[in-house]
Every structure is written in C-alpha cells, then in structure tokens.
Amino acid sequence: MSSAIVWFRQDLRLHDNPALISAVKSGLPLIFLYIDDTNIENNWQLGAASKWWLHHSLQSLSQDLAKMGANLILRRGDSQKILAELISQADAKALFYNRCYEPYAIARDTKIKKMPDIEVNSFNGSLLVEPWNLKTKQGGYFKVYTPFWKSFRHEVLIEAPLPKPKSWQNFSKKIASDNLDSWGFVPKINWDKQFAQEWQPGEAGAEKALSYFLKNIGLKYNTERDFPAIQATSRLSAPLHFGEISPRQIWQAAFPQHEKFLSEVVWREFAHNLLYHFPQLPERNFQAKFNSFPWSTSEKNLKKWQQAETGYPIVDAGMRQLWQTGIMHNRVRMIVGSFLTKDLLLHWRHGEAWFWDTLVDADLANNAFGWQWIAGSGADAAPYFRVFNPTLQGEKFDPEGAYVKKWLPELAKLPAKLVHNPWEANIKLNYPARMVDHGEARTRALEAYKKIREDGH
C-alpha cells in the first residue's frame, strides 16, 4: 500500500496547517512524523527550556492525532536518512511539510527536495508573508521596520485560516516509533517545577491563550504592555514558534481592533525577513563596524548577570523570572540586554546564547534580531546612545515595585521609593551590591560606541 508522509516541524497543530490539508487532498493513506534532527548545528540545538516545551507539545499533538485514529511517529537522527528509510518501508509517494526559515533548515530541506522517488511538497505555514515577497522600491529587502510595516499593510492580503480536516485515511501498516520520554527533554532535576504552572503547551493551550488575551487583555495592550507587573501581553510567542497556532489565526481573530498588537506580530515577520536575507544574523554583526567593538571578556561579570546578582533589582528580577518560568517580559528583556551589552560591555552573543537555553519561546530569528537591536549592531537598531538606566526604567515601568518584589522577595519590605535603588536603604539586605555604577558604565559605553563610529569601521 502506498502512502504519504506529513512531516511536522514548527507547525504542531491540526488547524490552519497547509501541509496537512494538501496531504489529505492527495487521497493517500497518511503517516504522521516528527524528527528530532540531531544534525542541526551544535549552537542551535534546542535549549533546555525549549525541549521542555517541545516534549509537552508533542504529547498534545499525539493525543490530538489519536482522537483521529492516527499515531505520531517519532524518530531521532539525520532527517534525510530517516525519511529515506520511511519512504522505502511505507512505499511513500509524497512528502508534505511546512517550510522553516532558519539557515540550517533551508540547507537541509534543499537536499531533501532532491531526494529520488518522492514528490516533495512544501508550504508556508509559519509566516504571513514569505521573506522574498516584500521588497523595497530598489528591489532589495527591508532593513528598517517602519517601511516594512507600511509595505506589509499596503501589499499583503491575509488569507483566511484553513479548517482542521474532518477526516483522513491513516496508513495501516505498523511503523516503529521512538518513545518520547527516551529523548530526555524533561529535566531530571526539578528546575522546571514552575513551568507547568505557567504554561499549557499544545494547540488547545494556544487557542486558550489567544481567547483569553482578546477577551481580557487586548484593549489594555496599548497602554499597559510595558508594565511587567501587569498581565498585559498575549503570551503567544512560544505557541507561535512551535506552530501550535498560526499567525493567520491570530490575525483573523485580532483584526482590526488590535492593530498595535498585530504590528508586533509583523515585527516577528520582520525578524524572519532579516534572517532569511542575512543568514549570518545569529553569529555576525549586521553592521560590520561593530567587528572592532572592544567587548569585555569578563566571565565573572557574565556569571553574575546570568545568576541575577547584578545589584540592580529590575535586571535581577527579569533574570529570576526567566530562570523560573522560561519567559521574560519584553520591556525587561530590553533592560537586561542593555545592561549586559552597555553597562557590562559583554558581547550580545553571550546574551543570545543564554536566552536560547532558558527561553521557552527561543526563536532563532527573534533572538538574534532582538539582541543585535539592543546592542546597536543590528538592522533598525536602537541608537548607540540609548543606554537604559535600570533604576529609572524600574521606577517608570514598575512604580510600586510589584514586579521586583515578586521575583526578589528579599526586597519585599522596602518601600516603593527604595525598591529600585536599595543601596540607598539604611538597612542591611540579603541582596548583592551593584556590580557597576550605571553613570560610570554609561560613560564607558558611549566612549566605546563613539570610537567605532569615528573610526568608520
């Protein structure tokens, strides 16, 4: 009996899944496959927090498929070899998948498309617009967000999401599958204990998060999204990365009432656009003049930043939130990023690597773009003279200290006027002294940034 393979990747859902819909239309019995590709470059193998999410997302997808009488086949190893074995074993005539846009995924898929004796069908299931479709008037790609957004709104027609298939024919022959637990994605030590309280990975959890956001938060998003103590964000970044929900589903549900929120969804598109056209983004400065930047090499300072021991409460609260929950509020991400790259003059790649391992929503395009943006080395980057003052940022966006006190209970007894500058409190605290004086650090940073600008590198 011939078959067709539906290869799940970053599209772990049954609704609005173009590859799945096309596979059903083929009329062939279907095999559902997920591969843990061990050939991905070592730097970009899944981080620990992402593995936790993926484990539970695959469990959810497997349960959803089981309700339709299907099994999710799990395999670990080289994707091309696994596909070749399965094609031979199941007499597969067609392969269906949704595209990924990371450089290593593009290289892998290019080889897979050349495999003999199989019809390969790929689709866009992750973005609102393909990275090669939006161009500047000169025919190049956008390097600044505002014109990208304007062009997107003028040129891109968002199609309606595809429905979940009502039925399909399952391949009846027994196909061997790995046991998900054997992959070891759930840590043996209990550092992830709070993850389960925070998150519900899987398609149902994503739909629930979107519904909650639109009903309870959406209208407050514009005015409250920068305040980390308030739940005023969508919490959809991880579901979007793993494809438990599509950007088309979000667009259809949120348009036109929530345009500011949707502009942030398009910010994600912009990041993927940059990664596609500049595939070195995760590893090289987008602006070459930063190649001569005098970064510090202090392992001691990096460790203090990672372990939430900087002495600046808003920074340490963010790093604690990240470690305990696998997420960090976006405003706080900018503050901790500025502190690492400008107050400590540590290379943005250190921050990128730490976030990659600790974020449940770690996404290559978003992570690389975000870190280069805050460091000033990227496209449409924050201006070099923007050095976030962690004390003033805390006072502005966490005025009562609620966010800081939640994640730093050792400061819970401080009054609001001292919670962001505890060094001025006339009491002994179980809290580290400031690593650096921000004013002095800012001067050092500006001198370093000014030098590379003057040198014209």
What positions carry a catalytic annotation? 264, 267, 295, 330, 348, 371
**Beta carbons of 205 and 12 less than 8 angstroms apart:** no
Rounded CA separation 272/145 (Å): 12
Q: How many residues appear in the chain?
A: 457
Give whole-number Cα distances, 25 to 22, 96, 208, 286, 358, in Å.
5, 11, 29, 43, 40
Axis crossing angle, helix 364-375 with helix 259-277, rounded to the nearest 10? 90
Please list the residues that pair with 122 across neighbouring strands: 97
**Closest residue by Cα to residue 244 from 288, 220, 208, 194:** 208
User: For the sheet containing 119-123, what is the strand order?
Assistant: 72-77, 30-37, 3-8, 92-98, 119-123
Rounded CA separation 246/240 (Å): 6
Rounded CA separation 360/362 (Å): 6
Axis crossing angle, helix 348-358 with helix 313-325, rounded to the nearest 10? 40
452: amino acid identity, one letter: I
**Closest residue by Cα to residue 127 from 99, 167, 92:** 99
End-to-end CA distance of the chain: 62
Rounded CA separation 98/125 (Å): 5
Give whole-number Cα distances, 226 to 94, 329, 332, 335, 403, in Å.
47, 8, 9, 11, 12
What 3-state class would DSSP assign to 321? helix
Name residue, tokens 């003033």: 392
Task: Indicate the helix (H) or strand (E) that contains 62.
Answer: helix 48-66
Non-local (6+) Cβ contacts of 303 within 8 A are: none
